[in-house]
């Protein structure tokens, strides 16, 4: 006669072997150094990554910027490594809201399951994103926001980053001095939020004055041009620091300052935490950069969770530490 106890034990042993295997596969996904604590817990998959199927489209805002290039590269690498049954389609919005809108509409027509998006402009992309949501497509918003509801947003908080950069600048200037600001693209959500956070931080330092501000459009050459204009407008001794919304503009500003021989007495505080800028911080060429993490592989992992029917909150916040000369070694090579 068959022993029911032994049968149960044999079944249990199989279950113990099979179930942890899927859990282990999901646990092998490396979410990077800036998705910790709650972020890591939220994005932990319960399904076996190899079994998740669907089509995910990603109209990247622009592949002319280092951040966009890194976002595309890391997303594609993670999709290939962890999700063999997910089809990933990537397009280039070319920093043009009209072109990015056309990509979104094309993906809607293709009836993709999930769209990942970092919008060129928050208002201009809202109608297209709304059309995607209305069509039943899940939308994972990363890097930049749109002014319409989405399924989930994953990013560092740009207001907090601007605020942290402002606090770093206050420390660098010991609470007193004149500052010029090189902002990003005027209609981009990071520009708006970083500027607000920065200005709010300076409320605690009434002796620091922002004497000039202009848009560098997240472009190194434009950042250099804006800084050259500031150097012409403000002779030596009239400005003490420059705050830039992105490292590429900080590099442009640094080149302009060096070409005029005005490195001494001009501090640079920036945002993004690119690996090359972290090196410049370590060398003392830039005072600080607050890291704005690349939202990959978090973006494709979130898409996979949605395909698997696993719940996600409306917002997932990434860590955004400030890098100075004192801690630069801790972050060397950990960004993009």
pLDDT in tens, 98-148: 999 999 999 999 999 999 999 999 999 999 999 999 999 999 999 999 999
Q: Judge if 211 and 115 occupy the same domain.
A: no
For residue 13, pLDDT beyond 70: no
Residue among 49, 112, 47 at smallest CA distance from 80? 49
The pLDDT score that the predictor gives to residue 27 is: 59
| pLDDT at 95 exceeding the cut of 60 | yes
Alpha helices, H only, the chain: 4-27, 37-42, 66-82, 97-109, 126-134, 158-173, 189-201, 220-233, 247-259, 275-282, 298-307, 328-331
Reported as a single tens digit per residue, the pLDDT across 216-230 is: 999 999 999 999 999
Range of the domain at 228: 158-291
Domain CATH code at residue 163:
3.40.50.2300
Please check whether residue 327 lies inside any domain of the structure. Answer: no
Q: Is 332 part of any domain? A: no
Average pLDDT of the chain to the nearest whole number? 93
Q: What does the pLDDT look like over 165-218, one tens digit per residue?
A: 999 999 999 999 999 999 999 999 999 999 999 999 999 999 999 999 999 999
Judged by average pLDDT, the poorest of 8-22, 27-41, 70-84 is 8-22
Average pLDDT over residues 38-45: 97
pTM of the model: 0.89
61 and 121 fall within a common domain: yes
pLDDT score at 28: 84
Residue 148 sits in the same domain as residue 180: no
Look at residue 19 in the predicted model and tell me its pLDDT: 37
Please tell me the predicted confidence (pLDDT) of residue 177: 98
In a domain, 329, yes or no: no
Q: Which one, of 242, 251, 261, 191, lies nearest residue 222 by Cα?
A: 251
Q: Does 56 have pLDDT greater than 80?
A: yes
How many structural domains is the chain composed of?
2
- Do β-strands 322-324 and 288-291 pair in parallel, antiparallel, or remain unpaired? antiparallel
- Is there a single domain that holds both residue 213 and residue 225? yes
**Is residue 280 located within the same domain as residue 213?**
yes
Indicate whether 147 and 20 sit together in one domain.
yes
In this structure, of 13-22, 47-56, 126-135, the range with the lowest mean pLDDT score is 13-22
Of the residues 252, 271, 291, the one at which a domain ends: 291
- Indicate if 194 and 142 belong to the same structural domain: no
Whether 267 and 257 map to the same domain: the answer is: yes
């Amino acid at each position: 006669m068959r022993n029911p106890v032994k049968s149960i034990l044999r079944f249990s042993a199989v279950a113990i072997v099979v179930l942890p295997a899927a859990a282990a596969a999901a646990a092998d996904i490396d979410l990077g150094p800036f998705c910790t604590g709650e972020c890591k817990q939220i994005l932990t998959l319960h399904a076996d990554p190899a079994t998740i199927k669907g089509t995910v489209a990603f109209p990247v805002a622009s592949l002319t910027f280092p951040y966009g290039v890194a976002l595309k590269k890391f997303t594609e690498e993670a999709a290939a490594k962890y999700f063999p049954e997910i089809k990933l389609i990537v397009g280039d919005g070319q920093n043009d809201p009209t072109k990015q809108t056309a990509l979104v509409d094309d993906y809607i027509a293709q009836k993709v399951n999930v769209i990942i998006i970092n919008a060129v402009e928050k208002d201009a992309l809202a109608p297209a994103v709304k059309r995607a949501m209305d069509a039943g497509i899940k939308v994972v918003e990363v890097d930049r926001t749109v002014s319409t509801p989405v399924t989930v947003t994953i990013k560092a908080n740009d207001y907090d980053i601007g605020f942290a950069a402002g606090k770093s600048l206050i420390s660098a200037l010991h609470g007193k001095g004149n500052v010029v600001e090189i902002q990003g693209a005027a209609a981009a959500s990071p520009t708006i939020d970083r500027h607000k956070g920065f200005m709010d931080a300076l409320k605690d330092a009434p002796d620091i004055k922002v004497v000039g501000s202009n848009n560098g459009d997240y472009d190194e050459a434009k950042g250099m041009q804006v800084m050259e204009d500031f150097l012409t407008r403000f002779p030596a001794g009239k400005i003490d620091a420059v705050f830039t919304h992105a490292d590429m503009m900080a590099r442009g500003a640094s080149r302009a300052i060096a070409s005029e021989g005005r490195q001494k007495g001009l501090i640079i505080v920036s945002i993004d935490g690119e690996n090359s800028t972290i090196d410049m911080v370590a060398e003392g060429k830039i005072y600080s950069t607050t890291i704005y993490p690349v939202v990959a592989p978090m973006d494709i992992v979130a898409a996979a969770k949605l395909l698997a029917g696993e719940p996600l909150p409306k917002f997932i916040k990434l860590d955004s530490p400030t890098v100075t000369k004192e801690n630069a070694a801790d972050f060397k090579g950990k960004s993009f």
